[in-house]
């Protein structure tokens, strides 16, 4: 079932919301501003429902959001060193919005754009679209994007991204949801258990730019090959890209997360080569979340399937280049479960 509503107006246009509800009572709310997942109500043990994604109450808060709550980020999510890259012999300079570097699409990325949206005829999906014009935030080429979100009766939330361009460009949009499977207002996620299906990671410098190395996680705090509490080896924060096992382009499991108290969990499956795991060090009580709840540090964690950070400047990293006539595709499936 899909319910549509108008939340307000922005830039003279209506901002729509779409609420998907399945046979299990799971409810997902999506908003056209930033193509965001703003609510996900999920049952735990005993059937107790909780909203497990961080977010805000009002449209104005999302318009001013600096944390990318639930948004699609891009054109190139994550970081590009010095906001510079070359493509086809041409040098490009992007907006630098994190010190000297480019982050999540720049000053006004996809998270700040108003996407058009429409309910699917199948009664369980929503489709959003946005055209990123040539030169936006410094990127070459017109980029036409389509994002589909579907919730089935087996409690799988599937997000698919497709994009085409009329000039050679780079493309790496991601979904940037923050998860707290105990409930968005329940405190930190350090007791959640997490496994990541990645035997290697890409180390970074002090500005979180990859050094270019690809190292084994064995014997490091980044070893999540066996499930462990997020907080067990945490020293400040995790904000790093894991190299996922398996063949990029094929859908395979990337991670498994579980809140042992409520029993709520999910497996994330994706076709992308990398996964950014971030534990929300920038969150704090100055952020007033849904219901006026102040979020603490580590109030949620993000798992962003992606190309690697700074791939356009690292020839041995998976390519993020998109050419005319080709189609960029990116699929994520959050397969929810309750552990009894």
Concatenated DSSP letters of 108-173: T-GGGSB-EEEE-TTSSEEEEEEEE-TTGGG--S-EEEEEEEEE-TTSEEEEEEEEEESS-EE-B-
User: How many separate domains does the chain show?
Assistant: 1
141-153: average pLDDT: 98
H or E element: which one contains 62? helix 59-63
pLDDT in tens, 259-268: 999 999 999 9
Q: Residue 173, Cα to own-chain centre: how many angstroms?
A: 8
Say if CB 138 and CB 93 are below 8 A apart.
yes
Domain around 202: 2-338
Q: Which pLDDT belongs to residue 191?
A: 98
pLDDT in tens, 77-105: 999 999 999 999 999 999 999 999 999 99
In 168-201, which positions are buried (b, 16+ CB within 10 angstroms) versus exposed (e)?
ebbbbbbbbbbbbbbbbbbebbeebbbbbbbebb
Cα separation, 58 vs 78, in Å, equals 26
Where does the pLDDT of residue 54 fall: very low under 50, low under 70, confident under 90, or very high at 90 and above? very high
30-35: average pLDDT: 98
47-54: average pLDDT: 97
- Checking if the pLDDT of 292 tops 90, the result is yes
Q: What is the CATH number of the domain that holds 208?
A: 2.70.98.10
Judged on CB neighbours under 10 Å (0-12, 13-18, 19+), 285 is: exposed
- Checking if the pLDDT of 336 tops 90, the result is yes
Mean pLDDT, the chain, as a whole number? 97
| DSSP-derived 3-state class of residue 340 | coil
Q: Indicate which residues carry an active-site annotation.
A: 176, 304
Q: Which pLDDT belongs to residue 179?
A: 98
- Checking if the pLDDT of 11 tops 90, the result is no
Q: Which pLDDT belongs to residue 250?
A: 97
Phi-psi region of 74 (alpha: psi -120 to 50; beta: other; left: phi over 0): left
pLDDT in tens, 314-330: 999 999 999 999 999 99
Q: Which of 300, 255, 250 is nearest to 275 (CA)?
A: 255
- Checking if the pLDDT of 235 tops 90, the result is no
Kindly report the backbone phi and psi dihedral angles of residue 58, in degrees, each rounded to the nearest multiple of 5, phi listed first.
-115, 160
Q: Which pLDDT belongs to residue 236?
A: 86
Cα separation, 78 vs 241, in Å, equals 10
168-180: average pLDDT: 98
């Amino acid at each position: 079932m899909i319910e549509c509503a108008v939340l307000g107006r922005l830039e003279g246009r209506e901002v729509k919301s779409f609420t998907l509800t399945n046979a299990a009572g799971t409810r997902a709310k999506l908003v056209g501003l930033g193509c965001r997942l703003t609510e996900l109500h999920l049952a735990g043990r005993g059937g107790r429902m909780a909203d497990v994604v961080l977010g805000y109450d009002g449209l104005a808060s999302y318009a001013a959001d600096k944390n990318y709550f639930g948004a699609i980020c891009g054109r190139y999510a994550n970081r590009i060193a010095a906001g510079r890259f070359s493509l086809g012999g041409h040098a490009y300079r992007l907006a630098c919005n994190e010190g000297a570097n480019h982050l999540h699409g720049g000053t006004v990325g996809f998270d700040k754009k108003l996407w058009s949206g429409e309910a699917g005829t199948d009664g369980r999906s929503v489709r959003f679209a946005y055209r990123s014009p040539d030169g936006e935030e410094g990127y070459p080429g017109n980029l036409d994007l389509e994002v589909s979100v579907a919730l089935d009766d087996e409690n799988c939330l599937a997000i698919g991204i497709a994009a085409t361009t009329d000039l050679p460009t780079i493309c790496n949009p991601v979904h940037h949801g923050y998860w707290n499977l105990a409930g968005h207002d329940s405190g930190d996620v350090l007791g959640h258990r997490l496994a990541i299906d990645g035997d290697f990671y890409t180390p970074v410098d002090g500005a979180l730019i990859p050094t270019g190395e690809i190292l084994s996680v064995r014997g490091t705090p980044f070893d999540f090959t066996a499930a462990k509490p997020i907080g067990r080896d945490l020293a400040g924060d995790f904000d790093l890209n894991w190299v996922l096992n398996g063949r990029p382009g094929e859908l395979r499991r990337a991670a498994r997360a579980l809140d042992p108290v409520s029993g709520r969990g999910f497996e994330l499956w994706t076709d992308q080569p990398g996964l950014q795991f971030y534990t929300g060090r920038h969150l704090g009580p100055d952020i007033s979340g849904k219901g006026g709840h102040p979020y603490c540090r580590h109030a949620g964690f993000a798992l962003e399937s992606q190309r690697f950070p700074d791939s356009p400047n690292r020839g041995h990293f998976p390519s993020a280049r998109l050419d005319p006539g080709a189609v960029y595709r990116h699929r994520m499936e959050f397969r929810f479960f309750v552990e009894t």
